Chains A and B, each alone.
Chain A
């Protein structure tokens, strides 16, 4: 396990998460490199999505969910007593596995729905265009900004969700298997997006697809559930090193396909 590197934007210290009495992850200590893509890989049930959801305090929305340890954003624990979860979530955005545009808002309204407050009409227009361009969606929707997002294809909807997250101007972007429900072409588009977006945002992406992790990330973290079903961080390292010369035997087994 890598030691916490001071000065990183997002880091955790001995993070554990519970659903009621069932522990999902334990003792996760990891730091995420600024303005880079870190991939979280591991077999199903290893807790990678739970871990991701702890970073923006979405885990606690689930019934009977609990967290222990700390998550540090810029050195400050986001689970401290007086912290407003909403403020955290504005700095740490999230894109989900299945695209979830707001069904009753237009494409334009979706994009600016979480943009910083106080923008006038002109400001909103600019913010929307910027966000949609960075999500490589602008050209496809610029003529139908007022129409319903449900008419878009799956890949387009997911890019809309990315644009929506980007428009909120976060510092960190969490992506939970963002291409899991998309076809290969749409997947490729989004992987390209991740490479360009990481110039502006720190990205943490959960993926079950190792090749994807190898393609898009500069750091990869491998998680595995132990005998009691509790997810633990096994190893985190530069992607090229993890995939060619992993330090842990279990990582090697997973990567070479011996299980998972």
Chain B
């Protein structure tokens, strides 16, 4: 019939269009994946050359003097992260406990809203907050103010994922504890939190991975330094900040070190994400009681 012949021709054309479409979609997906590989390759190739023992352990050298490293930046990163974790984990965990105990209602919803707001705030605005609260009044830059900014950046992720972690502990475990006369305090601290601990640690590792490459807030909190520094009350070098400073400098030797620092940062993020993934698997296994 003429009708079916007409349809058949149309169908072939539609199939071709479909094929082109899927091809285009595939190309887009490949662009995304390929971009990552390209960036990764550049960082590895350019950065590997800069990695050596001196790079990891020495102070930066002045321009023109070859060698030197980002030792103080690595130390500074650890110190600032450490203080940030010590501040963020209690606040985040307590808020998550509150949310898991009082699930619905206006106040818990308000807290969740605030958490969402905070997660969308640009990191530079958070840096301004840290500046206003801890740098301007004290009239000097400090690693502690950087830790404060990092804490703000980590909190929304910690609160949200910790709340999920606590909620994922089966109801019967908590009820079992309460039903035998345990106080909410003991039940939560001795039973529920330890059971949720692998998932909470996963949340923490992911939060650290998020902030380890943050540079913007550091510009006017930690400010950077050329020397070894371990006093959190003073300006301090931070690896991410050094990468930035070296990258925009006009000196090729510094630019090469920027690549090295970038490789370290990506390596750290990779290790943390891997750790988080392993922790998550342990969390899943632990819940199969």
A residues lining the B interface (CB < 8 Å): 56, 58, 61, 63, 86-91, 93-94, 96, 98, 100-105, 113-114, 150, 161, 164-165, 168
Would you list which residues of chain B between 259 and 289 have a CB under 8 Å from chain A?
A: 286-287, 289
A-B contact pairs, 26 of them (CB 8 A): A56-B179, A61-B175, A61-B178, A63-B104, A86-B183, A88-B181, A89-B181, A90-B180, A91-B181, A93-B180, A93-B181, A94-B179, A94-B180, A96-B179, A98-B172, A100-B173, A100-B289, A103-B287, A103-B289, A105-B191, A113-B180, A113-B182, A113-B191, A150-B289, A164-B180, A168-B181
CB neighbours (8 Å) of B181 from chain A are 86-91, 93, 114, 168
Cβ B176 vs Cβ A100 within 8 A = yes
* Nearest residue, chain B, Cβ from A64: B104
Alpha-carbon separation in the docked complex, A102 to B190 (Å): 10
CB neighbours (8 Å) of A101 from chain B are 289
Q: Which of B103, B176, B178 contacts A161 (CB 8 A)?
A: B176
Least CB distance, B52 to chain A, in whole angstroms:
44
Alpha-carbon separation in the docked complex, A94 to B170 (Å): 17
Cβ A96 vs Cβ B176 within 8 A = yes
| A-B contacts at CB below 8 angstroms, number | 68
Nearest 10 pairs between A and B by C-beta?
A: A90-B181, A114-B180, A94-B179, A104-B194, A89-B181, A100-B176, A100-B172, A102-B191, A58-B179, A168-B180
Cβ A103 vs Cβ B182 within 8 A = no
Alpha-carbon separation in the docked complex, A66 to B95 (Å): 27
Alpha-carbon separation in the docked complex, A102 to B191 (Å): 7
Cβ A104 vs Cβ B191 within 8 A = yes
B51 CB-CB contact with A under 8 Å? no
Least CB distance, A179 to chain B, in whole angstroms:
16
Alpha-carbon separation in the docked complex, A98 to B173 (Å): 10
Q: Which of B103, B104, B180, B286 contacts A103 (CB 8 A)?
A: B286
CB neighbours (8 Å) of A103 from chain B are 173, 195, 286-287, 289
B residues lining the A interface (CB < 8 Å): 103-104, 170, 172-173, 175-183, 190-191, 194-195, 197, 286-287, 289
Q: Which of B170, B180, B286 contacts A89 (CB 8 A)?
A: B180
Least CB distance, A181 to chain B, in whole angstroms:
11
CB neighbours (8 Å) of B172 from chain A are 96, 98, 100
Cβ A165 vs Cβ B180 within 8 A = yes
Alpha-carbon separation in the docked complex, A183 to B160 (Å): 40
Other than A56-B179, A168-B180, give 20 A-B pairs with Cβ distance below 8 A.
Answer: A58-B179, A63-B104, A86-B182, A86-B183, A88-B181, A89-B180, A90-B181, A94-B179, A96-B172, A96-B176, A96-B179, A100-B170, A100-B175, A102-B191, A103-B286, A103-B287, A104-B191, A104-B194, A104-B195, A105-B191
CB neighbours (8 Å) of A87 from chain B are 181
Q: Would A89 and B191 be within 8 Å (CB), given that A100-B172, A100-B173, A150-B289 are in contact?
A: no
CB neighbours (8 Å) of A94 from chain B are 176, 179-180
* Nearest residue, chain B, Cβ from A89: B181
Cβ B179 vs Cβ A93 within 8 A = yes
Q: Which of B173, B178, B286 contacts A58 (CB 8 A)?
A: B178
CB neighbours (8 Å) of B286 from chain A are 103
Alpha-carbon separation in the docked complex, A166 to B104 (Å): 35
CB neighbours (8 Å) of B197 from chain A are 104
* Nearest residue, chain A, Cβ from B191: A102
Alpha-carbon separation in the docked complex, A103 to B282 (Å): 13
Cβ A102 vs Cβ B179 within 8 A = no
Least CB distance, B49 to chain A, in whole angstroms:
47
Which among A86, A164, A168 has the highest number of chain B CB atoms within 10 Å?
A86
Least CB distance, B7 to chain A, in whole angstroms:
56
CB neighbours (8 Å) of A96 from chain B are 172, 175-176, 179
CB neighbours (8 Å) of B170 from chain A are 100
CB neighbours (8 Å) of A114 from chain B are 177, 180-182
Alpha-carbon separation in the docked complex, A80 to B266 (Å): 61
Least CB distance, A144 to chain B, in whole angstroms:
17
CB neighbours (8 Å) of B175 from chain A are 58, 61, 96, 100
CB neighbours (8 Å) of A63 from chain B are 103-104
Least CB distance, B225 to chain A, in whole angstroms:
43
Q: Which of A86, A102, A150 contacts B176 (CB 8 A)?
A: A102
CB neighbours (8 Å) of A93 from chain B are 179-181
* Nearest residue, chain A, Cβ from B103: A63
